[in-house]
Amino acid sequence: MQILTITENNMEIGYVGLGGMGHAMASNLISKGHTLRVWNRSPGKAADLVAQGATLVEHPGQAAAGDGIVFTMVADDAALEQVVGGPDGIAARLGPGGIHVSMSTVSPETTQRIAALHAERGAAFVAAPVFGRPTAAAAAMLFILVAGEAGARDKVLPLLETMGQRVFPLGDDPVAASIVKLSGNFMIMGVIEAMAEAATLCEKYGVERSAMMDVMTQSIFATPLYVNYGKLIAQHDYANPGFKLSLGFKDANLVMAAARKAHVPMPLASMMHDRFLSALAKDRGELDWTAAALNVSEDAGLRS
Q: Do domains 2-172 and 179-299 have the same CATH topology?
A: no
11: pLDDT strictly greater than 60: no
Name which of 64-78, 114-128, 223-237, 250-264 the model is least confident about: 64-78
What digits encode the pLDDT tens for the residues 114-163?
999 999 999 999 999 999 999 999 999 999 999 999 999 999 999 999 99
Contact 57/85 with Cβ under 8 angstroms? no
In the predicted model, what is the mean pLDDT of residues 55-67? Answer: 76
The domain ranges of the chain are: 2-172, 179-299
pLDDT value, residue 25: 86
Question: For residue 239, what are the CA distances in angstroms to 15, 85, 180?
Answer: 28, 35, 29
Beta-strand ranges (E) seen in the chain are 2-8, 11-16, 35-40, 55-56, 69-72, 99-102, 124-127, 130-131, 142-148, 164-169
7: pLDDT strictly greater than 70: no
pLDDT value, residue 58: 72
> Active site residue: 32, 155, 181, 250, which one?
181
Distance of alpha carbon 22 from alpha carbon 134, whole angstroms: 9
70, β-bridge pairs: 14, 100
pLDDT value, residue 22: 86
What residues contact 249, with CB distance under 8 A and at least 6 apart? Answer: 273, 276, 277, 279, 280, 285
What digits encode the pLDDT tens for the residues 215-234?
999 999 999 999 999 999 99
What phi and psi, each to the nearest 5 degrees, are found at residue 44?
-60, -30
What phi and psi, each to the nearest 5 degrees, are found at residue 99?
-135, 130
303 or 108, higher pLDDT: 108
What residues contact 110, with CB distance under 8 A and at least 6 apart? Answer: 77, 80, 81
pLDDT value, residue 301: 97
Residue 60, SS3? helix
Of 73, 8, 79, residue with least CA distance to 37: 8
With b for 16 or more beta-carbon neighbours within 10 A and e for fewer, the 130-150 pattern comes to bbbbbebbbebebebbbbbbe
Distance of alpha carbon 164 from alpha carbon 167, whole angstroms: 7
Distance of alpha carbon 233 from alpha carbon 164, whole angstroms: 26
Q: Is there a catalytic annotation at residue 181?
A: yes
Calculate ∠ Cα 227-285-208, nearest 5°.
35
Residue 67, SS3? coil
Distance of alpha carbon 59 from alpha carbon 56, whole angstroms: 9
Q: Domain 179-299: which CATH class?
A: mainly alpha
Mean pLDDT, the chain, whole residue set: 91
Query: What count of residues does the chain have?
Result: 304
284: pLDDT strictly greater than 60: yes
pLDDT value, residue 10: 42
Most confident of 29-33, 51-55, 155-159, 275-279: 275-279
Question: For residue 59, what are the CA distances in angstroms to 47, 64, 82, 151, 198?
Answer: 16, 10, 13, 29, 50
Contact 3/63 with Cβ under 8 angstroms? yes
296: pLDDT strictly greater than 80: yes
Q: Domain 2-172: which CATH class?
A: alpha beta
